[in-house]
A and B are shown apart, each in its own frame.
Chain A
């Protein structure tokens, strides 16, 4: 035990003396989470849309005003002479609404008038949002026009749970907490391990009386101390910048976070032990830690949309489980009944990585 603690203390001292590593450990996660967490969102809130009014009547202007007063759209008027496609090709507007001639006359005669919406579908998600928003505005406008008794037969009363303001940052903030914790503790652990190999200080470890378990545990313990500090900083950000609170019992989050940090530090140590070259080890972590966590964990894009041939890989990505735990703790508040399986999976993966790291180290022998 004393040897484990001594090893951990040596690691922490080494980090403290390396300014670049210290910045990587404490400053960068905070910067990354606050910058990306507030900036990344799939949902455009004021979609630029142009309206070409070929009718120019009171009613057509009222229809255009319905779009102006909606929060979803930022409206500009398109002169009659301009072709709508030029605006879309330049990316100045995401959609063009064309109100046809005789718009008012048709409605006054009780015949349905048809407005056209040309949507730039390059970005299919924004295109669908634009279409949905425009449909809602049009439906509300049509209701105003209709006879007063015409309440629709079936109405919906929609309630938004867990994030009633539909604020994207409440969803992506916790996601980037996961991304930050997947990158930085892993990189630091991989660096600490591969440095021993690269600078041949590993030989001193081999000739000392320390066992592979003690050596590894010391490294992992030091890595976990740094990782949990980062976690505390990140949770602080969640409470301040992102305005989140624990939605329920925080104990699954705490247990899951300790296990997750153990898991990523073990993964980093495994990479560092397998690749005794710092540059190559960092590259491997960038690929394994960052890219897989970013792509296959449901951070921004839903996991369900990944083709089945690739989706099974996501079961081996620890971040995928941690995302579930973090979002549950801050948004849904389902507690242990909802996330026990994710906590278990992270623990299992962590033990697996630790075991593999130990296997590469256990002989404590110089590789031929």
Chain B
């Protein structure tokens, strides 16, 4: 412990860190790459990714052409989920447009609809759904059935169904999908940009052959690695602040929980990213190799994180793998603390996992980097 203190207070570490800082400051591209892409990415992801089902194109074949059938149509189109895209003469024409992708939902009202209704016999309406997109189809089906159930209730008079379900949406009553996406993408941004920048600065020494002069300095390998990581850490934390500001100001993500907890999780995530980048850089011989290796690592890491799609929707054998994914833990923490306002008592397993992952990656990559030096 005392040795560690003396080492940290030692002038060598600070000198080396200062050298790194100056090097980073002179590299305008690196600074820009830490400001522009993350901001753009979080804006793009937050605005463009929206799973909401709305404005589905509804096609109708009304063979009945009566007051009763028009009532049904108006009930269906009252909902903002559907908008009437066209009326068709025959089910065949409707089917053709559904097949060509010009419609999402088709409703066929039979010619005896009004007659059956007047005789108080049940009338059946045919609903055709383009189920290619399973998610949209499931929600659209629920909407159509809900609208028809509502119509039935108003037809049957005031008699309500024996059981009513009252739903309350907690944490996100407005159902803003950007809150889910932004908190999910946040971790992806930290890890991907962190690893990219770390790999770039680590590989530079190797590419330019400046490892030899570094070795000749009296600094130990540990000092060299630590001095490389520290300025990057500061820089990436500044990026985290920027992304947090965009999340708060542009997307109005609520900050319900403790800010310290969020920042602690961000710090762990940044360290994991740096560790990952250093790790990759120890395998590569040149800058473009690090980038190609990232192609193997990054897409699965980003997609299998639960950041964009729910982990529960993944196959059973993939779900345990997400426990090894730092982005998954970070997304859980960000959502729990920012949106749900949870405290340490809730997120401690994820935070511990993140710390463990960060420690492991930084440790292994420092060890590999050191081995390269000697």
**Chains A and B are bound partners:** yes
Of A115, A305, A332, which one neighbours B100 at CB under 8 angstroms?
A: A332
* C-alpha spacing A123/B49, complex, angstroms: 13
Establish whether residues B123 and A153, one from each chain, have CB atoms under 8 Å apart when the complex forms.
yes
Known contacts: A125-B177, A295-B44. The answer to whether A89 contacts B129 by CB under 8 A is: no
* C-alpha spacing A237/B179, complex, angstroms: 35
Chain A: which residue is nearest B106 at the CB level? A161
A-B residue pair count with CB separations less than 8 angstroms: 333
* B27 close to chain A: CB less than 8 A: no
Q: Which of A203-211, A215-223, A323-331 contacts B (4 or more CB under 8 A)?
A: A323-331
* B149 close to chain A: CB less than 8 A: yes
Establish whether residues B139 and A36, one from each chain, have CB atoms under 8 Å apart when the complex forms.
no
* B241 close to chain A: CB less than 8 A: no
* B9 close to chain A: CB less than 8 A: no
Establish whether residues B139 and A129, one from each chain, have CB atoms under 8 Å apart when the complex forms.
yes
Establish whether residues B52 and A124, one from each chain, have CB atoms under 8 Å apart when the complex forms.
yes
Smallest CB–CB gap between A273 and chain B, Å?
16
Chain A: which residue is nearest B304 at the CB level? A39
Establish whether residues A112 and B162, one from each chain, have CB atoms under 8 Å apart when the complex forms.
yes
* A274 close to chain B: CB less than 8 A: no
Chain A: which residue is nearest B184 at the CB level? A123
Smallest CB–CB gap between A76 and chain B, Å?
14
Establish whether residues B152 and A154, one from each chain, have CB atoms under 8 Å apart when the complex forms.
yes
Chain A: which residue is nearest B156 at the CB level? A153
Known contacts: A306-B50, A328-B101. The answer to whether A40 contacts B303 by CB under 8 A is: yes
In the complex, which residues 99-124 of chain A have their Cβ closer than 8 Å to any Cβ of chain B?
Answer: 107, 110, 112-124
Establish whether residues A128 and B53, one from each chain, have CB atoms under 8 Å apart when the complex forms.
yes
Chain B: which residue is nearest A328 at the CB level? B101
Known contacts: A119-B168, A123-B180. The answer to whether A156 contacts B127 by CB under 8 A is: yes
* C-alpha spacing A118/B165, complex, angstroms: 10
* A267 close to chain B: CB less than 8 A: no
In the complex, which residues 201-243 of chain B have their Cβ closer than 8 Å to any Cβ of chain A?
Answer: none
Known contacts: A139-B161, A156-B144, A156-B145. The answer to whether A166 contacts B131 by CB under 8 A is: yes
Residues of chain B at interface, number, CB under 8 A = 99
Of B55, B148, B175, B291, which one neighbours A127 at CB under 8 angstroms?
A: B175
Q: Which of B17-25, B262-270, B335-343 contacts A (4 or more CB under 8 A)?
A: B335-343
Chain B: which residue is nearest A41 at the CB level? B313
- Mark contacts of B177-197 with chain A using CB atoms, 8 A cut-off: 1 yes-contact digit, 0 otherwise: 101100100000000000000
Of B48, B100, B127, B313, which one neighbours A301 at CB under 8 angstroms?
A: B48
Of B131, B175, B292, which one neighbours A121 at CB under 8 angstroms?
A: B175
Identify which of B45, B48, B126, B300 gathers the most chain A CB atoms within 10 Å of its CB: B48
What are 25 A-B residue pairs whose CB atoms fall within 8 Å in the complex?
Answer: A36-B299, A38-B315, A39-B314, A39-B318, A40-B309, A107-B162, A112-B163, A120-B170, A124-B180, A131-B167, A153-B117, A154-B72, A158-B127, A163-B132, A166-B137, A167-B134, A171-B132, A278-B291, A296-B48, A302-B53, A305-B50, A306-B47, A306-B50, A327-B101, A337-B100
Of B135, B291, B303, which one neighbours A36 at CB under 8 angstroms?
A: B303
Residues in B whose Cβ lies below 8 Å from that of A20: 289, 292
* C-alpha spacing A238/B171, complex, angstroms: 39
Residues in A whose Cβ lies below 8 Å from that of B286: 279
Q: Which of A144-152, A345-353, A358-366 contacts B (4 or more CB under 8 A)?
A: A144-152
Identify which of A124, A136, A160, A183 gathers the most chain B CB atoms within 10 Å of its CB: A124
Chain A: which residue is nearest B154 at the CB level? A153
